[in-house]
Amino acid sequence: MKESFSTVSSYQSIEEIRLRKAALQKEIEADSAKIDEKWHSLFKKPEALSKSATPSQRISGIISSGAGVLDGILLVWKLYRKFKR
């Protein structure tokens, strides 16, 4: 479904336009800050690799990474066997 973003607003003065522009600028800056925070959280170093991690956290991190690698290898192998023509 396509949304219509064109809303008709009737402004009576330049000051109203300036106030609306300032409000929109604040919203844009807030959205930009949220996007920036989420972007940086994507590339955050895992806690299991930090120096303050306990040995059990490190072991669970290694097991989790190993399981992910094994899953990826199995996926590649299955795709290779399916499409090897």
Average pLDDT, consecutive stretches of 10 residues, N- to C-terminus, the chain (85 residues): 60 93 97 94 75 84 91 96 84
What pLDDT shows up at residue 75? 97
Residue 20: phi, psi to the nearest 5? Answer: -65, -40
Q: What is the pTM of this model?
A: 0.47
Is residue 61 a contact partner of residue 49, using CB atoms and an 8 Å limit?
Answer: yes
At residue 1, the pLDDT reads 46
The Cα–Cα gap between 7 and 2 comes to: 14
Query: In this structure, what token pair is assigned to residue 78?
Result: 């299955």
- What pLDDT was estimated at residue 58? 85
**What pLDDT is recorded for position 74?**
97
Cα gap 38→67, rounded to integer Å: 26
Residue with tokens 């990826």: 72
